[in-house]
Structure 1
Amino acid sequence: MDHHEFGAAVRLLRESTAPESVGLPVGGRRVRGLRREELGELAGMSADYVRRLEQGRSHPSAAVVRAIARALRASRADYERLCALAGYAAVGGPVPTDLGPGARRMLERFPDTPMFVSDAAMNVIAVNRAFLALEHWDLTGGRWDWNVAWRTFCDPFDSFRQSQTDATDHETILVAQLKNALLRYPTDAALGELVDELRSRSRLFDTSWRVPRPVGAYESSATFLHPEGDPVVLTGNLLAIPGDDLAALMLTAAPGSADAARLAEVVSSAGGPAVVKVGRTGPG
C-alpha cells in the first residue's frame, strides 16, 4: 500500500472532474477540475484533510474512500482502484431489504413493545403487532411513505409530537444513518434518488446534510397521539442488526409511569399477526 499513490489518484480524479458534472458552477475558474475546498464540501471533509490525503500524509478509512468516490461520481473502475490503493475491498450493490430470521425473532419476542425494523436507507420493512396498536402508521402509502427520513422531513405525522431537543436528536440520527448508508452503498440508485429528493424538498435536511451534527445517542422521545384515549410518551432506541444490515426501533415508556400503563392498555387490545411486512407501497 502506497499512500502517495492513493493521493495522486485522488488528485487526478479531482482535476479531471468537470464542475458541471457534480452540480457546481463553471465560470471564474483558474484551475482544472474541482478545487480541494469543493471536493471537501461534497465529500463532507475539510480542504486541509483533502490536501493531506493528496500529499500522502494521511491514510483514509474505507468510508472516506467511498465518500470521495461518491463526491466525484467516479466510475466503478475508478472506485475499485481507489479502494485497492487504500487497501480495501470495494463495496457496492443495493441496500439489503430482506427480513432475516434474527430480525423476525426480535419482532416476535417483544410482543408488548412497539417495534419496527428498517433497512440501511431507513425504509421500514416490518412491524410487530404492538407497533400497529399505536395506530401511528397506516399500512398504505406511496413510494417513500414508509421511509422514516422522508416522513420526518417532508411529510410529518399529525399524531407525533416532539420537543425541539428531541426533534433535533431524531433528525441528527436520520441524517447520520443515511450518510452511512450512502457511503456503504454508493451505487444504489434508489438511495441516491431519495437523498437528492430530501435535499431538494427539505431545507432543514439539506442544511443538516451539508453540516452534520455528531450523534450523541441513538434515541429520542416523542408523544404519540392515539385516536382513542390519552396520548402516550415513548422513547425510541435504534438498535443495529449487523448480520442483515438492518436496524430495529424499540418504543418504551418509563417503568411504573402513567405512560407505561397507557401503553400496556393500548397493546393489550392488539390483534392480528405478530409480524407484518411492509414496503414502499404498503404491506408485502
Structure 2
Amino acid sequence: MGIAAFLRARRAALEPGEAGLPRMPNRRRVPGLRREEVAQLAGISVDYYIRIEQGRAHGISDSVLEALARALRMTEDERSHLRNLAAPRHRHGGADNLVVRPQIQRLLDSMETVPAFVVGPGLDYLAWNRLGARIAYDMETLPPEERNSPLLVFLHPESRALHPDWDSVAAETVAALRAETGRHPGHPRVEGVLARLLEESPEFRVLWEEQEVREKLSGTKRIHHPGAGELTVTYEAFRLTLDPDQTLCTYTVDPGSPSETVLRRLAREPVGAGAGRAGAGTGTAG
C-alpha cells in the first residue's frame, strides 16, 4: 500500500521506449525501467531515488514528486496518489460515524428519475434515494456492513449477473479503492474493507497487486437489473464541499433510449421500505 510498492509497479510497467530512452537489446532481465533510469529521467541522484522507493526519504518536495510523476508517465490520478503516499495529510486514529446531512438527503430524494447515492471512505454507501436503492443491489435488505461497493462487486453472489462487464467493473473498483487508501491513510473502515477482500477474494488479490490507481468520477457501465432488465448508465461523482469525505454519485441514461424505458419501469415498481435514510448506512463508515 506504500510508496515503495507503488513506485516499483509504475517503474516495471514502463518500457524504456515509452520513457524516451533508447532500446538496448539483451540487457534487461526484468521488464520496465531500472532505478538508475528513473533517477536520470527525474533529474535526481540514484541514491535519493532508492531512498524514496524504499520509503526512507522524508519531506520529499513537490518538485521532486512532479519530476518522478513525469518520468514515470503517471496519470493525474496516479500523481495525486503519489502525493498522498509521500505526504499523507493525517493518519486516521479512530472510527468515524459519518452522517449525511439532511439537506443532502433532501437533494437525493428530489431526484425522482435519477438514481443517486452518497459514498464515504472505503466506498461505503451512506445514503441513497428511491432509485439509488434499487438500481442494482437492494440497499434496504443489505446488512449495514455489506453496503460497500468493493465488497458487493467481489463478494456478493449476484455481482457477476448484475454487471455484464464484470471484469472492467472489478478493475475499476480496485483502482478506486487504492485511491481511497491514499486519501484516507489509516482509516479503519478502508483498512477493514481491504483486509477482508485480500482474505476472501482471489480475483481481488490479483488485481490489487497491479497497483492501478483511478478515481471513479465519471464513465458508463451496464447493469442487468433482475426485475427490470438491462440498462446502460452514465455515472458522475461530485465531492461535497462541506463534507469532503463524502461523494454524491448519480446515474443518468440517454433520453429516448431503451435504458430510459427500463429505468422508468423500475421507477414504477412498488417499494416496500421506501427510500433509504441517511442514517441507515452510517454504520458502515466507521
Smaller-chain TM-score bracket:
0.5 to 0.7
Q: Structure 2 CA distance, aligned partners of 1:184 and 1:135?
A: 27
What is the identity percentage for the equivalent residue pairs of Structure 1 and Structure 2? 15
- How far apart are residue 102 of structure 1 and its match? 5.0
Count of aligned residue pairs for this structure pair:
222
Q: Is the 8 A contact 1:146 1:279 kept in 2?
A: yes
1:156 CA drift (Å): 4.4
Give the TM-score normalised by the residue count of structure 2: 0.62
Query: Which of the numbers 76, 85, 105 marks the counterpart of 1:67?
Result: 85
1:191 aligns with 2:193: no
Does the alignment pair 1:261 with 2:261?
yes
Residue 252 (1) aligns with residue 216 (2): no
Conserved 8 A contact 1:52-1:58: no
Q: Which residue number in structure 1 is paired with residue 16 of structure 2?
A: none
Maintained 8 Å contact 1:91/1:184:
no
Partner secondary structure for residue 251 of structure 2: strand
User: Does the residue aligned with 1:121 lie in a helix, a strand or coil?
Assistant: helix
Distance of aligned partners of 1:210 and 1:273 in 2 relative to their CA distance in 1, 3 Å threshold: same
With over 3 angstroms needed to count, the CA separation of the structure-2 counterparts of 1:280 and 1:202, relative to structure 1, is farther
Deviation string, structure 1 residues 214-261 (Cα, Å, up to 9, x no partner): 53863231232242x543333333333243121223222222112212
1:120 alignment partner in structure 2: 121
Is 1:180 paired with 2:144? no
Report deviation, 1:213. Answer: 3.0
Change (3 A) 1:266 1:118: same
CA distance in 2 between counterparts of 1:57 and 1:281 reads: 36
CA spacing shift, 1:103–1:210, aligned 2, 3 Å:
farther
Residue type matched to 1:243 in 2?
L
Q: Deviations over 1:189-235 (max 9, x none)?
A: 232122111112222222222213353863231232242x5433333
Tell me the equivalent position of 2:132: 131
- Deviation of the 1:263 alpha carbon: 1.1
CA distance change for structure 1 residues 220 and 207 in 2, over 3 Å: closer, same or farther? farther
Instruction: State the alpha-carbon separation in 2 of the partners of residues 251 and 226 from structure 1.
Output: 18
Tell me if the contact between 2:235 and 2:250 (Cα under 8 Å) persists in the aligned partners. yes
**How many angstroms does 1:135 deviate by?**
6.7
Q: Deviations over 1:110-135 (max 9, x none)?
A: 11111121112111111101223547
Distance 1:234 1:112, change over 3 A: same
Residue 45 of structure 1: aligned partner: 7
> How many Å separate the matches in 1 of 2:92 and 2:170?
26
Q: Distance in 2 between matches of 1:215 and 1:55?
A: 25
Residues 115 and 131 of structure 1 are in contact (CA less than 8 Å); yes or no, is this contact kept in structure 2?
Answer: yes
Match of 1:210 in 2: 209
Tell me, yes or no, if the aligned pair for 1:95 and 1:119 is still in contact at 8 Å: no
The answer to whether the aligner puts 1:161 opposite 2:123 as a matched pair is no
Distance 1:222 1:51, change over 3 A: same
CA distance in 2, matches of 1:195, 1:242: 26
Consecutive unaligned residues in structure 1, runs of 5 or more: 1-21, 23-37, 69-82
Secondary structure, aligned partner of 1:251 = strand
Pairwise CA distance, 1:151: 0.9
What's the RMSD between the two structures over aligned residues? 3.7
| TM-score in terms of structure 1 length | 0.63
Quick one: distance in 1 between partners of 2:193 and 2:130? 28
Distance 1:153 1:181, change over 3 A: same
Give the unaligned 5+ runs of structure 2. Answer: 12-34, 40-48, 66-79
In structure 1, distance between residues paired with 2:194 and 2:183: 14
Q: Which residue of 1 aligns with 2:239?
A: 240
SS at match of 2:256: coil
Whole-angstrom distance in 1 between the partners of 2:59 and 2:141: 52
User: Once structures 1 and 2 are overlaid, which stretch shifts more, 171-180 or 259-268?
Assistant: 171-180
1:147 aligns with 2:148: yes
- Cα distance in 2, alignment partners of residues 274 and 140 from structure 1: 12
